[in-house]
Amino acid sequence: MEYIEIYLLEQLAAFSRCGTLSAAAEELAVSQPALTRSMKKIEDILGVSLFDRSINRIRLNENGKRAAEQAVKLLEADREMIRLVRNFDRSSKTISIGSCVPGPLMEYPGILSSLYSGMAIVSEMAEESELLTGLRSDRFQLAILAHPLSDSDLYCQPCGSEHLYISVIAAHPAALYEKKGVTFREMDGETFLMNAHIGLWDQITRRNMPHSKLILQSDTEALLEVINASTLPSFATDLTLRVLPKRVNRVNIPFTDDDATMRYYCACRKERTEFFRPWFELLTDICRTD
């Protein structure tokens, strides 16, 4: 039995997408005669006509349209197989942890590295839908989310929390009045310096302080330098105050709103639970002292 090689499927899909032999040949960087021969070879293998031919042009007939649809599906399956196998191989040598916020990624990779000394630890921020898809495709082995999961194929448990602060200079009214806490409503309208990549915290601050102006900085180290040289308020959390360099001449005051506390949950695929048992046991201890 003769099989259709991948390159032939790619060329048929390109012809269907481009509409003409010349356009498909240009996209594929092959000669038009070579592409013509490939189309004829596919017809010979299938034993059916795929094209309506005229003097200067060929078009896909109904058989050809169906064949092109199947070629696209097979090519997608081929790419998916390659991706899954590569992700599986990487997962045997690497622990990839994804998070909906940056804070946990400042602490957890180091802890994982000490627990799994023979493996590389990589981390990445992503939206929840991407984290869940990534768990199921081996792109991520662990995911940090802002709510628990009840999916039957995933294991999930609490892994701590993070609380939002406003960071101000000593001359700011909130510091002068020695406030022990502030609300989003009180601070709404202020101009803040803020990290551009803070995940769900971005949504929370914008929703609760719609009249505030946010000046974004992509690089954390650069942001800290700007904060230390500026009189503008910025944000901090109990976690970032613990792990990042100390801010110069700043007073850090907690927000008292419920939205200012984010509780985290760590998830993995259920079949990986035993492998990550030391990690989840450590998270249990962390939550006891949180």
Q: Is residue 252 part of a domain?
A: yes
Per DSSP, 138 falls in state T
Q: Which of 71, 88, 105 is the last residue of a domain?
A: 88
Residue range 65-84, pLDDT digits in tens? 999 999 999 999 888 888 87
Angle between helices 6-18 and 62-91 (to 10 degrees): 120
Is there a domain that residue 135 lies in? yes
pLDDT < 70: residue spans in the chain: 1, 91-92, 288-290
Residue at which a domain ends, from 47, 72, 88: 88
- Give the end-to-end CA distance of the chain in Å, rounded to a whole number: 65
pLDDT for 1 equals: 63
48 and 173, same domain (yes or no): no
Q: What is the pLDDT of residues 116-130, one digit of tens each?
A: 988 889 999 999 999
Number of domains in the chain: 3
**CATH assignment at residue 234:** 3.40.190.10
The reported pLDDT for the residue numbered 2 is: 74
Question: Do 147 and 199 share a structural domain?
Answer: no
State whether 179 and 255 are in the same domain.
yes
Angle at 263 between CA 258 and CA 266, to 5 degrees: 165
Task: Give the separation between CA 74 and CA 82, rounded to whole angstroms.
Answer: 12
Q: What is the DSSP letter of 182?
A: B
The reply to whether 210 and 277 lie within a common domain is no
Do 146 and 184 belong to one domain? no
What per-residue confidence (pLDDT) applies to 246? 84
Question: Does 1 reside within a domain?
Answer: no
Residue 124 belongs to some domain of the structure: yes
In a domain, 67, yes or no: yes
Q: Which domain holds residue 80?
A: 6-88
- At residue 247, the pLDDT reads 85
Per-residue confidence (pLDDT) for residue 103, from 0 to 100? 93
